[in-house]
Amino acid sequence: MNSKPTISSAAAVQFLTVDEESAGQRLDNFLIRVLKGVPKTHIYRIIRSGEVRRNKGRVGADDRVVAGDVLRIPPIRLSERAEEKAAHPAPAREFPVVYEDEAFLAIDKPAGVAVHGGSGVSFGVIEQMRQARPQARLLELVHRLDRETSGILLIAKKKSALKALQDQFRERETGKTYLALVKGVWPAKLKVLDQPLHKYLLPDGERRVRVTSKDDPEGMKSVTLVKVVKQLDAPVGLSGACSLGFTLLEVTIKTGRTHQIRVHLSHSGYPIAGDDKYGDFELNRLLGRAGLKRMFLHAWRLRLTHPISGESLELHSELPPELQTWAGS
C-alpha cells in the first residue's frame, strides 16, 4: 500500500489503492488532492458518469474512502496549461494561528481564500500550508469553510487526530457558531431553522443548495440555531435600500451542510449582507460602494473535544477589521 498516493496524467485506466492516511476523506477531496492539475469540473464529471469506481462499484462525490479501497481512475489527459500548473505548486503561505499542538492546528482563514484548489482556483489554504511546512508528515483539512467565509479552520497533523475530529463533526459533537449580518430586523422568536436542504451542481460543477420539502428523498436534515446579538441602523446612503437596517446574529449549526447558513437565512427572508450566491444582489452592489467588499459571515467560535487528550476546548476568532465597523464595534 502506498504511503502517499499520487497519480499523474495518463492515457490508460489507473487503479489506486487508498492509504491509511487518506482514510475518511470524501472522494472528491481525495481525488482533487491526488489528481494534480486536473480541473475540479472534470473530476466531478468522471464521478457523476460512473467512470470512477470503488471496488468495482459506483461511488458518490461525498462518499468517504476507506483504507484498502481500490479506485478505478479513467484515462485523463491534461491540457498544456494544466500540466504547467501541476509543475508549479502553490506558493508557500502561513496563516494566523488560533491554536496549535502536535495533533492539529486551528488557523484564522481570511475571506477570499479557498480551503483547497479546484473549480477555477489553482490552490487554496491546504496547498499553501503544505508548501510552507515541507517537514510536516501530514496536513489535512478536517472540515471546510466557503471561500467567502472567514474564521476558524481546523487542519490535522496526525491521521488519528484527523479521524477523531472528523468523527466529532460527523456525529454533531462540535459546537460551530458564526457571526452573520443580515438584511432587516430578525424576529427574536425565530430561533430554530430546520428545513431540509437539497444539494445540486451547476453545469460547470459549482455547488448550489436550496430548501426542499420534508418528503424529498434527497433532502438532507439541516438544523440552524439563531440568536440576535444586536440591531443596527443602515449606514447613511443605504437607508433607502434597507430601511429596516441590519441584524447581527450568532448562528450555530447542528448539521454541517454545504451553504447551510446562507440558504437557511436567505430562505427565511433575511439574506446575508454581501452574499453573492443567495443574497440581495442590488443591496450587495450598494454595500460594495459603501465599503463592504465581502460576505459578512465569520466562523467565530468552535467548541470541540481534543482528539488526543479528551480535553474540552473553546476556540475563538475575532471579527476581522473589515467587518468590525459593520458590526457596530
- Tell me if residue 146 is catalytic: yes
Q: Which one, of 146, 178, 142, 144, lies nearest residue 299 by Cα?
A: 178
Choose the catalytic residue: 146, 233, 276, 280: 146
Residue type, 49: S
The three cell numbers locating residue 107? 488557523
Bridge pairing between strands 97-100 and 104-109: antiparallel
**Cα–Cα distance, 14 to 16 (Å, whole number):** 7
The three cell numbers locating residue 170? 460527523
CA 40 to each of CA 64, 146, 207: distance values in angstroms, whole numbers, following the listed order = 18, 16, 12
Residue type, 253: I
SS3 sequence of 201-267: ECCCCCEEEEECCCCCCCCECCCEEEEEEEEECCCCCCCCCCCCCEEEEEEEECCCCCCHHHHHHHH
3-state secondary structure of 297: strand
In sequence order, the β-bridge partners of residue 318 are none
Q: How far is CA 252 from the centre of its chain?
A: 16
**Cα–Cα distance, 117 to 147 (Å, whole number):** 11
DSSP letter (8 states) at residue 134: T
Q: Give the catalytic positions in this structure.
A: 146
